[in-house]
Amino acid sequence: MNHLALDAPSIAYTSLSPILVILIAALIGVLVEAFVPRTARFPSQVGLSVVAIFGALIAVYAERNTREITAGGAITIDAPGLFAMAALLVFGLLATMLYGDRSLDAVGGTKVSHFVAEGALPAGSRADRALLPSDRVQTEVFPLALFVLAGMMVFVSTNNLLVMFVALEVFSLALYVIVGLNRRRRLLSQEAALKYFLLGSFGSGFFVFGVALIYGFSGSVDLRGVFEATTSEFANDSLMLLGLGLILVGLFFKAGIAPFHQWTPDVYQGSPTPLTAFMAAATKLAAFVALLRVLYIGFTAVGSSWQPVLAGFALISMATGALYGLSQVNLKRMLAYSSIAHAGFIMVAVLANTQHGVTASLFYLVTYGLSTVAAFACVSLIRRPDGEAARFEDWKGMGRRKPVLAAIMTILMLSMTGIPLTAGFIGKFQAFSAAIDAGYTWVVVIALLLSAVTAVFYLRLVVLMYFHEPEEDAADVVDPGTSTDVVIWITTALTVLFGIIPGPLLDLVAKATPFIG
């Protein structure tokens, strides 16, 4: 009797070491939660996360010249994937430093000693005790964040649509839990987590249904096999177009692209601010790199089929973010609509279907992520006795109260607007020039007009800081701890540096553009 022998897929563990380091650390973090005493969990989890992220960064650097397809063709270690992994790890490290700042209640409170001294809270009160960092920090965030990182690292480096779906679920499920961990705004946070879960599940459903249709069209879930099918005589088959459309919908949900953005404002507002910063930077980067990989490997031969679609969604996203952002009174919600507008600007680069488009997209994603992390870190410093204060009015007169904080926030708002000498200007210039080179000048013209609209709500904050008197009941500005201070200064400095001297990052990104399939 003949037995069918199945060869085990070859796995290059060295090439996969960045992912394995983070995944193993996440599993160890779960054990720490189970067996380490409560008083020792916080330093253990912070130390484990920082060591794991640095270890993974070292592994990424060691594999910088690797170009390999491994794990049975499911994982591709190439330049864009390694660059995206490094950026994700940096965003994860910055978020860990913010959440690990013990001078603040990481869940959403503030320095207890300040409000007790000011008489806002009686010493020894229940509210006083509730705000103490020692018993309010939720250490389960750290292994969850590591699972998010591991899932995203697989997500940006796989050429297999089924593995991409599994990675999508790994980091999405952990994010749903993280969003609901803001105990200072428990009901708001739980509502945001539920909304994120329901809408994210719809997005995942669209994605996997699209994968099924693409398999029916090409007989493969590997992007190289899909590419070969799209070069055949059936390239414009309706099954292929419908499948690609559903996959795009799933990725648009994760990237926060309108009209699939409904979860974004509520999730940004309800999540703990350090974790909002991480989601705003890392999730958008992971979603767009996966989008680039799908389109530029699997469907690059039929670019004429999806480029007009992307142009339309880019315009919708820019318009939605710009117009709805004008009416916001909460700074976190304004930054959420800002992210929706920026997703549209990044799409302008993606639709080019050229190497210049990849370079522009990656540059924009990194610089936008840095400025976003800095902005949310600044927002986390504005506090009231019951938690964070994110109203625009709380920033009135900040130029007199805290001139350094106001100056930093001004730089970040100018960068998001796209003012010269900031990284935001270089990012938009690169994105728009890639689209013009591809023949989409009309999209760039509309994008420039909508960019001017977004400037209104960015500069509105600047006006409040410098041309208004502070309110009598203005929220307090808490002095940041060392780790928060380091995050704010480094990210702000890089925002300015990449605006004045963008060459080194542009050169690095240009070397990271060739996908392999």
- Measure the CA–CA gap between 436 and 456, rounded to whole angstroms: 25
Nearby residues of 447 by Cβ (< 8 Å), 6 or more positions away:
314, 315, 318, 344, 345, 348, 432, 435
Q: How far apart are CA 92 and CA 282, in angstroms?
A: 8
The two structure tokens encoding residue 162: 């089924």
Look up tokens 């690095």; give the residue.
Answer: 508
Residue 517 lies in a domain: no
pLDDT at position 235: 62
Which residue range(s) make up the domain with 318? 17-511
Evaluate whether 243 touches 217 at the Cβ level (below 8 Å).
Answer: yes
**Total-model pTM:** 0.90
**pLDDT score of 117:** 40
C-beta of residue 105 within 8 angstroms of C-beta of residue 42: no
Residue 132, token pair as written in the block? 């103490």
Residue at 254 is within a domain: yes
CB 286 within 8 A of CB 255: no
* Cα separation, 265 vs 254, whole angstroms: 13
Which residues touch 436 (CB under 8 Å, ≥6 apart)?
A: 444
How far apart, in whole angstroms, are the C-alpha atoms of residue 466 and residue 470? 10
**Tokens at 169, concatenated:** 């679920």
Location of structure tokens 């203005």:
474
pLDDT for position 137: 62
Of 323, 365, 325, give the one whose Cα is nearest residue 345. 365
CA–CA separation, 231 vs 400, rounded Å?
A: 63
Backbone φ and ψ of 502, nearest 5°: -80, -10
Q: How far is CA 31 from CA 27, 48, 144, 152, 169, in A?
A: 7, 12, 12, 22, 22
The stretches of 256-352 forming alpha helices (DSSP H) are: 263-270, 273-278, 284-293, 303-325, 331-350
Residues 378, 416: Cα–Cα separation, whole Å: 15
Query: Is 484 among the domain residues?
Result: yes
Under 8 Å CB-to-CB from 204, ≥6 apart: which residues? 165, 168, 169, 172, 250
Per-residue pLDDT of the chain (517 residues; tens, 9 = 90+): 455 445 566 777 888 899 999 999 999 999 998 898 888 888 899 999 999 999 999 999 998 888 888 877 788 888 999 999 999 999 999 999 988 876 555 433 444 444 434 444 444 444 444 444 434 567 888 999 999 999 999 999 999 999 999 999 999 999 998 888 876 667 777 888 888 888 888 899 999 999 999 998 888 889 888 888 888 766 667 888 899 999 999 999 999 998 988 888 888 888 888 888 998 999 999 999 999 999 999 888 888 889 999 999 999 999 999 999 888 888 999 999 999 999 999 999 999 988 999 999 999 999 999 999 999 999 988 887 666 777 888 888 888 888 999 999 999 999 999 899 999 999 999 999 999 999 899 999 999 999 999 999 899 999 999 988 877 777 777 888 888 899 999 999 999 999 999 999 999 998 888 887 6
Residue 423 near residue 317 (C-beta atoms within 8 A): no
Q: Which amino acid belongs to residue 471? A: E
Q: Which two tokens stand for residue 172?
A: 């999405």
Q: How far apart are CA 234 and CA 232, in angstroms?
A: 5
Please enumerate in sequence order all residues whose Cβ is within 8 A of that of 415, keeping only pairs 6 or more positions apart, or say none: 367, 371, 422, 423, 424, 425, 495, 499
Would you state the torsion angle of the CA atoms of residues 409, 415, 420, 422, taken in this order, to the nearest 10 degrees? 80
For position 109, what pLDDT does the model report? Answer: 40
175-187 burial code (b ≥16 CB/10 A, e <16):
bbebbbbbbbbee
Query: Is residue 1 in some structural domain?
Result: no
DSSP 8-state assignment for residue 297: I
Nearest to 351 by CA among 225, 442, 480, 246: 442
The pLDDT assigned to 128 comes to: 40
Q: Which two tokens stand for residue 122?
A: 């009686």
| Other beta carbons less than 10 A from residue 456's beta carbon | 12
Q: Is residue 117 part of a domain?
A: yes
Neighbours of 354 (CB within 10 A): 18
Instruction: Tell me if 345 is assigned to some domain.
Output: yes
DSSP 8-state assignment for residue 9: P
Number of domains in the chain: 1
Contact between 143 and 29 (Cβ < 8 Å) = yes
| Residues facing 330 on adjacent strands | 391
Asked whether 103 and 480 are in contact (CB, 8 A), the reply is yes
Question: Is there a contact between 181 and 189 (Cβ–Cβ < 8 Å)?
Answer: yes
CB 329 within 8 A of CB 457: no
Query: What pLDDT does 386 receive?
Result: 64
Dihedrals φ, ψ of 97, to 5°?
Answer: -65, -40
Residue 327 placed within a domain: yes
Residue 8 lies in a domain: no
Cα–Cα distances in Å, from 69 out to 150, 218, 402, 436, 513? 18, 20, 52, 34, 16
The 8-class DSSP code of residue 160 comes to B
* CA–CA separation, 41 and 102 (whole Å): 13
* Sequence-ordered list of residues with C-beta below 8 angstroms from that of 202, at least 6 positions apart, any chain: 253
